Structure 1
């Protein structure tokens, strides 16, 4: 007669195999999370020079939209050439040359995956990953017998983690 597995054993097994299955995606989120911390600086970014032809006689707001730079400010205009901090735009010919800071290809892909929105084609994978992490949190409480000293010590670490999370949220 087969013995019925306890909830604790089932949780441990699910926790273990889901952990192995999600190891790669957890590494992606860890790396992209670290990269995103530096998104307000040029750390990890390369300068890319872009040369293209736009419609002639664009206004500053239209130019900002065309080069995808909301903060574009024209610093001076001389002989039909508009100068801005990242480059120049010849309003007579439509030629624009500007530089842009971009993450290397793989880091860019990682960070876009990390920042997925509901309009992205694979957003449901991010939801699955979030729910899986939530499962890890809950299932970890079934790893040890509640009356054991290791469980009680673990609860102190849980309390410390909650306090740290609250401090980080409100500081």
Structure 2
């Protein structure tokens, strides 16, 4: 056992309690990361019908901005109607009817937390979590004495993980 005042013991204690503290957020990040893999598909999404009133006589070029749809593509225009994927806009009344596919509320909140930006209110949580994960990575080297076989085997696994990461990044 390590000396009560040793750096190794202190790091192990921090590693242990920080791990317990972060179980919830690590679970959220793990699940939202898996969900984000499928963001280009309709997996987990639910369809919802939307009817909204926007500006009357909007052009097809304005429609995407008014409906807050980034990739809106008009398929055809007939009289006072503009048709786009999953919807129709009536120029005369200003009413747009369309369908959207969205993640359920809780999954949407989880993925937004995972993808937060510096302008978001909880961005500091992501920074703290990233630093904590870096700490976990490096503190694992303090779990066992360097002379033990477990530590030496751990170094082989570390090398394999680094090589796999480099392969995934550059191949």
- Fold shared by both chains (TM-score > 0.5): yes
Distance apart, 1:60 and its partner CA: 1.5
Within 5 Å, give how 1:20-99 maps onto structure 2.
Answer: 20-99=20-99
Within 5 Å, give how 1:123-142 maps onto structure 2.
Answer: 123-142=123-142
1:106 aligns to what? 106
Structure 1 residue 145 corresponds to structure 2 residue 145 = yes
Note the residue ranges of structure 2 that are not aligned, 5 or more in a row: none
SS in structure 2 opposite 1:82? strand
TM-score (norm 1): 0.96
Of the structure 1 ranges 138-147 and 4-13, higher mean CA displacement relative to structure 2 is found in: 4-13
Distance apart, 1:4 and its partner CA: 5.0
Distance apart, 1:79 and its partner CA: 2.0
SS in structure 1 opposite 2:141? helix
RMSD over aligned Cα atoms: 1.0
| Cα separation, 2, equivalents of 1:126 and 1:154 | 28
Q: How many residue pairs end up in the alignment?
A: 169
**Deviations along 1:108-157, whole A, 9 cap, x unmatched?**
00000000100001111110000000000111110000011110000000
Within 5 Å, give how 1:4-15 maps onto structure 2.
Answer: 5-15=5-15
SS in structure 2 opposite 1:132? helix
1:18 aligns to what? 18
Runs of 4+ in 1 over 6 A off after TM superposition: none
2:169 aligns to what? 169
Note the residue ranges of structure 1 that are not aligned, 5 or more in a row: none
Distance apart, 1:97 and its partner CA: 0.2
Higher relative contact order (CA 8 A, sep 6+): 1
SS in structure 2 opposite 1:72? coil
